[in-house]
Amino acid sequence: MSKKQLSIGLLGCGTVGSGLVELVNRTRDLLRERSGVDLKISRILVRDADKPRPGVDRALITTRPEKVLQNGCDMVVELVGGMEPARSFIHDALAGRKHVVTANKALLAADGFNLLRAAAQHKVRFGFEASVCGGIPIIRALKNGLVGNQIQSLAGILNGTCNYILTRMEEDRAEFPEALQDAQKKGFAEADPTLDIDGHDAAQKLKILAELAFDGQVPAEAMQVDGIRQITADDLRTARELGCVIRHVAAAEMIDGAVALRVGPALLRASHQLSGVRNENNAVLVRGDAVGEMLFFGKGAGSLPTASAVLSDIVDIACNKTMRMPITSRQLSTTTPDHSSHNYLRFPVHEPSAIGPISGILERNGIAVQRAAATWARNGHDASQVKIVTQSCSERILEKALHDVSRLPVSAGKPLRVPIAE
Amino acid sequence: MSKKQLSIGLLGCGTVGSGLVELVNRTRDLLRERSGVDLKISRILVRDADKPRPGVDRALITTRPEKVLQNGCDMVVELVGGMEPARSFIHDALAGRKHVVTANKALLAADGFNLLRAAAQHKVRFGFEASVCGGIPIIRALKNGLVGNQIQSLAGILNGTCNYILTRMEEDRAEFPEALQDAQKKGFAEADPTLDIDGHDAAQKLKILAELAFDGQVPAEAMQVDGIRQITADDLRTARELGCVIRHVAAAEMIDGAVALRVGPALLRASHQLSGVRNENNAVLVRGDAVGEMLFFGKGAGSLPTASAVLSDIVDIACNKTMRMPITSRQLSTTTPDHSSHNYLRFPVHEPSAIGPISGILERNGIAVQRAAATWARNGHDASQVKIVTQSCSERILEKALHDVSRLPVSAGKPLRVPIAE
């Protein structure tokens, strides 16, 4: 097999960047054998040149982006993250006819189509496997493995931080703040965890997957996004009594030519394919018209798993320089379907006796109450709580009933509403 | 994007072949948009030209292989199956500088390296995603998605027939012959089910996966292969009492530079990632040094799922004609490691009272008996049975103890030994 030299300019040497340096060092011979590609990292952009970086050749380090972007490398790997200067770096690299690989989900969700179009215009390739679900080759599966399928739906646990926190709350019966702290201590949550726990990180990833799966652009504002801040240990206990776990699920489906997208907590029954996904793991369920239902499970983040995905793009591009535009410019229409499901509802109330009037409003709206319980203020709740499990009911009707409940004088805040998925 | 015409000569129009024709017809526009490839099936080889084939253009049908192999198509898709004439067809196609796509696991397991080498010599590509696990893109994951990983182990439910039968025995409390009949009725088992239920089909698939994962040739005779004929409804009941299910598992791992391979039934605890795989589904667990543990789950067989995998290879080759040799000629050394595990043992005996001497032999060999029970001949057994669950013990020592037991006059046949996996 012919050997191809490939030199890489690396932008950023944080968690994933240093993982990539380690992985390239240790797999160089293996990759040469497997793919005929001889990889070399030729320059590394960092913010602080003096920071000790074990295993990284100091001679490659620079703090000046142009030293990477204007150097003679074949490919630029962008691991700086965020919007700017990452976006400008990538556009500069593409304009300089360098292939680009990135793990930057925020940038892709915001501007993926323009970046891909720029790559196509400059006849170079653009890889982003690492942007969703770390080491799980889900982008590749959608682009290549399932290319002959109309994708009907996607549902995934796309945020490892949320999943780790929910697992800790479930298994250690911890409250949210405590579980978040544990996640931060273990490196599974950022110092500012907002993007993760409010669902925006999962929403970005869902947008990237949905655009690939459904061949068009998804308007970000079409997504209903909820996080997990509201979930309490008591909710998880109730879920357990119902034979369920609570997971943060990002889901997209095609309904009569329009895409429905939703990100938020869900109660999953034990038989649900995503219910067994624990800790910082990720998983994606894909339903294609030819293959049926398929599950991909693995580590969704972390230094080496993400670097593994970056490396798979690097090798792929080294072996095959033909650009294929995986996303079209078509704007997908979106829809908010009126799904029916059982629901878990929790209402903050001034008086536990509110259980009567609340159940009454639900029943008057035709929503059958399967279980109802009231608790006095405790367990980290500021107010008393009324918890209700409904029979299967229409979302629209439930919204209307919740609006009616909110007007009761005894209501003490926004209720939690979590659908129960089979 | 430039449009590429690609004409396909199809060998075989059975379950998968007719699925491919259907899929190409219905996704032609989609594929043109997604990949710029315009697919056309130009010739179809069949055995019986008069058989009605709804949806298949009669003008394409031929019974003469040379009409396909010597026609001007760009690619030959071999879905005839078996060794000959499939092997000769493929060699002829490669020699004629046509790309080849196949779903033929038996041929690949027997002769994959030679076929791949022939493709490389003729500078054409050879795709075999459909040979293992139907629609699950596991070949692609090992070759591309995990290219930067040393694979440490693989374990999979690779045979949908075995899994369907075991699921039926478990859920319907059916005996093996009854469950097999049901599988045959539903099309999940062949009229001659030997290859599937004796484990050879799973062994062929494991060989293909292991050669990709571990970068070398696996001698077929290195594999220990057991099937599921011996398993009874009573075994499944005992498994359930232990909080386990029985699954037919094909596993390979790299231990100190040598590969250990095993195919056979295993008791899996509920926490095991493969325990939830039901009916005709397949799943593969892969552990890579960078990505950690990853699971791929989906339909492992069937017309459209397998055709979906064939189609993914077709599009991949149409977009990228560079041949990469995914398997090396290196002979892997193999090993039979002395793993320790808990075990479920069932001994056919002339007298239930054999429970005493058998337990005694195990204990004298240092194997702690955790549970023991004896039953009179019934439940489809010809003999009385002694069932024993051992504590964790070395395989070697257990083999020796089983040999000692076989020499007891009360022994009435070969015992069943199923390891219990965590």
- DSSP of B303-349: HHHHHHHHHHHHHHHHH-------S-SPBPPB-----EEEEEEEEEE
Grouping H, G, I as helix, E, B as strand and the rest as coil, residue A205 is: helix
A chain contacts of residue B134, beta-carbon cutoff 8 Å: 291
Fold for A139-299, please state it: Dihydrodipicolinate Reductase; domain 2 (3.30.360)
CB contact under 8 A, B30 and A134: no
CB contact under 8 A, B141 and A146: no
- CA atoms of A322 and A123, how far apart (whole Å): 8
Radius of gyration of chain B measured on its C-alpha atoms: 24
Domain residue ranges of chain B, discontinuous segments joined by + = 4-131, 147-299, 340-421
- CA atoms of B38 and B74, how far apart (whole Å): 12
Mutate to test the interface with A, among B144, B254, B271, B278 (most CBs of A within 10 A): B144
Closest CA to B286 of A296, A306, A284: A296
Q: Write down the CATH number for the domain with range B340-421.
A: 3.30.70.260
- CA atoms of A102 and A115, how far apart (whole Å): 11
- Which candidate from A34, A215, A324 shows the least CB-CB separation from B319? A324
End-to-end CA distance of chain B: 51
To which H or E segment does residue A258 belong? strand A258-269
- CA atoms of A419 and A268, how far apart (whole Å): 9
Mutate to test the interface with B, among A291, A304, A312 (most CBs of B within 10 A): A291
Grouping H, G, I as helix, E, B as strand and the rest as coil, residue B179 is: helix
CB contact under 8 A, B1 and A324: yes
Transcribe A361-391 into DSSP letters.
Answer: HHHHTT--EEEEEEE-S-TT-SSEEEEEEEE
- Which candidate from B33, B144, B311 shows the least CB-CB separation from A328? B33
Measured from the Cβ of residue A187, the count of other Cβ atoms closer than 10 Å reads 12
Please list the rounded mean pLDDT of every run of 10 residues in chain A (422 residues): 80 95 94 90 95 92 94 93 96 96 95 92 94 94 94 97 96 96 90 94 96 91 92 95 97 95 96 94 97 96 94 92 69 90 96 95 96 82 89 96 96 95 86
- CA atoms of B80 and B93, how far apart (whole Å): 14
Measured from the Cβ of residue A177, the count of other Cβ atoms closer than 10 Å reads 11
Mutate to test the interface with B, among A6, A32, A34, A215 (most CBs of B within 10 A): A34
**Full pLDDT tens readout for chain B, 422 residues:** 456 889 999 999 999 999 999 999 999 999 998 888 899 999 999 999 999 998 899 999 999 999 999 878 999 999 999 999 999 999 999 999 999 999 999 999 999 999 999 999 999 999 999 999 999 999 999 999 999 999 999 999 999 999 999 999 999 999 999 999 999 999 888 889 999 999 999 999 999 999 999 999 998 788 889 999 999 999 999 999 999 999 999 999 999 999 999 999 999 999 999 999 999 999 999 999 999 999 999 998 889 999 999 999 999 999 886 666 666 778 899 998 888 999 999 999 999 999 999 999 999 999 999 999 998 887 656 789 999 999 999 999 999 999 999 999 999 999 999 999 98
A chain contacts of residue B1, beta-carbon cutoff 8 Å: 120, 324-325
CA dihedral B256, B258, B259, B260 (to 10 degrees): -70
CB contact under 8 A, A308 and B288: yes
Grouping H, G, I as helix, E, B as strand and the rest as coil, residue B350 is: coil
- Which candidate from B150, B291, B305 shows the least CB-CB separation from A292? B305
A chain contacts of residue B293, beta-carbon cutoff 8 Å: 298-299
Task: Give pLDDT, residue A1.
Answer: 42
Closest CA to A314 of A87, A82, A103, A45: A103
- CA atoms of A415 and A401, how far apart (whole Å): 11
From B27, which residue of chain A is nearest by alpha-carbon distance? A148
Q: Bridge-partner residues for B316, per DSSP?
A: none
- Which candidate from B23, B292, B297 shows the least CB-CB separation from A148? B23
The amino acid at A187: G
- CA atoms of A292 and B299, how far apart (whole Å): 7
Task: Give pLDDT, residue A70.
Answer: 87
A chain contacts of residue B273, beta-carbon cutoff 8 Å: 276, 297
CB contact under 8 A, B148 and A311: yes
- CA atoms of B165 and B148, how far apart (whole Å): 37
The amino acid at A404: D
- Active centre residues of B (catalytic): 205
- Active centre residues of A (catalytic): 205
A chain contacts of residue B35, beta-carbon cutoff 8 Å: 147, 324
Name residue, tokens 């290879």: B313
- Which candidate from B1, B147, B299 shows the least CB-CB separation from A35? B147
Regarding the domain with residue range B4-131, which homologous superfamily does it belong to in the CATH classification?
NAD(P)-binding Rossmann-like Domain (3.40.50.720)
B chain contacts of residue A289, beta-carbon cutoff 8 Å: 304
The amino acid at A112: G
The answer to whether the beta carbons of residues B44 and B71 sit under 8 Å apart is: no
Q: Write down the CATH number for the domain with range B147-299.
A: 3.30.360.10
Domains B4-131 and B147-299 share a fold: no
- CA atoms of B85 and B103, how far apart (whole Å): 14
**Orientation angle between helical segments B160-171 and B233-241, nearest 10 degrees:** 70
Instruction: Report ipTM (2 d.p.).
Output: 0.93
CB contact under 8 A, B148 and A297: no
From B302, which residue of chain A is nearest by alpha-carbon distance? A291
A chain contacts of residue B129, beta-carbon cutoff 8 Å: 145
CB contact under 8 A, B290 and A135: yes
Q: Write out the E strands in A80-167.
A: 99-102, 126-127, 151-157
The amino acid at A399: E
- CA atoms of B320 and B329, how far apart (whole Å): 24
Task: Give pLDDT, residue A325.
Answer: 63
From B129, which residue of chain A is nearest by alpha-carbon distance? A145
- How many CA within 13 A on the CB side of residue A300? 28
| Interval B336-348: pLDDT, tens | 888 899 999 999 9
CB contact under 8 A, B140 and A136: no
CB contact under 8 A, A146 and B308: yes
CB contact under 8 A, A311 and B135: no
B chain contacts of residue A31, beta-carbon cutoff 8 Å: 147-148
Closest CA to B164 of B187, B148, B132: B187
CB contact under 8 A, A308 and B30: no
The answer to whether the beta carbons of residues B21 and B41 sit under 8 Å apart is: yes
- Which candidate from B302, B311, B324 shows the least CB-CB separation from A148? B311
CB contact under 8 A, A137 and B135: no
**Cα of B118 vs its chain's centroid, Å:** 25
Å between A163 CA and nearest CA of chain B: 16
The answer to whether the beta carbons of residues A346 and A416 sit under 8 Å apart is: yes
The answer to whether the beta carbons of residues A360 and A383 sit under 8 Å apart is: no
From B39, which residue of chain A is nearest by alpha-carbon distance? A148
Task: Give pLDDT, residue B1.
Answer: 42
DSSP assignment letter at B10: E
Å between A307 CA and nearest CA of chain B: 8
Number of cross-chain residue pairs from A and B with Cβ atoms under 8 Å apart = 191
